[in-house]
Amino acid sequence: MGKIIMVASGKGGTGKTTAVANIGAALAASGSLTVLVDMDMGLRNLDIALGLESEVVYDFTDFTDGRHSLDDVLVKVGGRENLYFIAAPQTRPAAEIDGEKLAVLWERLRERFDFCIVDAPAGIGTGFAYASSGADEAVIVSLAETAALRDADRAVSAFIKNRETQDDQKKQKEDNSDKKNSENSEDTGENKPADSEPQKRELEIKLLMNRIRPDLIEKKLMPNIDECMDMISVPVIGIVPEDEELIRASLSGRLAADEPLSSAGTAFSNTARRIKGEHVPIMEFKRKSFFKKLAEAFKK
């Protein structure tokens, strides 16, 4: 069975969708069969990050509503082995989504893929709840800013609350089913099986710090990673530096994870390796001197 990982952020503008595209590409490049699911209903952008804006015909509601098969809604990402994509609807609001039908989609994807990376909408509204409904783990993307970290902490709390609500609802359904079976057993004279305590899913929540500026940290204008972790009490799975190569790759329709000279791409690839359970040290980012930057500029 595969693993479903929700990637979320407490606020917009943290680079969450870029992170999903790059981490997904890195997982696929490492040999893991991976699907990326855009759950940002009405504001989808993951198709653009993957260069698939003209390839999308169906979205995940075409499967959940029974109009098309899973194979129909899956889009193969061109030029990449092991990587697939499912789009979010453009016009349908999150309030109209059927949670039970969505649960079927999550189970089918878990059976078929090694990793399902879910791009959740920013914030902690209804769309966030649906994006987290099938998740085994969560990666919260944040900037090293007080407002972003505060909202990231709220996203962590929302994920925990959603999971507790889901577990309570599941237990209620099981209790109702047991009660009905017990009544049927009494009618037929059969023995009631012994009650068993339902197993609670363990929560795994990690923090991905994005667009880190070592020069600003040196000048005390940006909090360092230790200070960030003091504000949000979850372990860090990756630290991604601000990187011009990422911007160039994006403008050229490429992903930073494919660029050997991109420090952000390397950080995303290392994050993917940690998701797979590898022990990869956090990269050290050294601030470039003015003269080194000037020399590199003349080389371009």
Q: Cα–Cα distance between 97 and 126 in angstroms, integer?
A: 10
Rounded to the nearest 10 degrees, the angle between the axes of helix 263-275 and helix 244-251 is: 90
Any known ligand binding at 91?
Answer: no
Any known ligand binding at 134?
Answer: no
Any known ligand binding at 42?
Answer: no
The answer to whether residues 275 and 27 touch, using CB atoms and an 8 Å cutoff, is yes
In the beta sheet, which residues pair with residue 87?
59
Question: SS3 sequence, 105-133?
Answer: HHHHHHHHCCEEEEECCCCCCHHHHHHHC
CA-atom Rg of the chain in angstroms: 22
The answer to whether residues 7 and 117 touch, using CB atoms and an 8 Å cutoff, is yes
Instruction: Give Cβ neighbours of residue 89 (< 8 Å, ≥ 6 apart).
Output: 41, 42, 44, 59, 60, 61
Any known ligand binding at 12?
Answer: yes
3-state DSSP helix/strand/coil % of the chain, to nearest 5: 45, 15, 40
Any known ligand binding at 14?
Answer: yes
Instruction: Provide the 8-state DSSP code for 94.
Output: G
Any known ligand binding at 188?
Answer: no
- Residue entry with tokens 């499912």: 86
Edge-to-edge strands, sheet with 137-143 = 75-76, 83-86, 34-38, 115-119, 3-8, 137-143, 204-212, 236-241
Binding site for ATP: what residues are annotated? 11-18
Q: What residue numbers does the annotated binding site cover?
A: 11-18
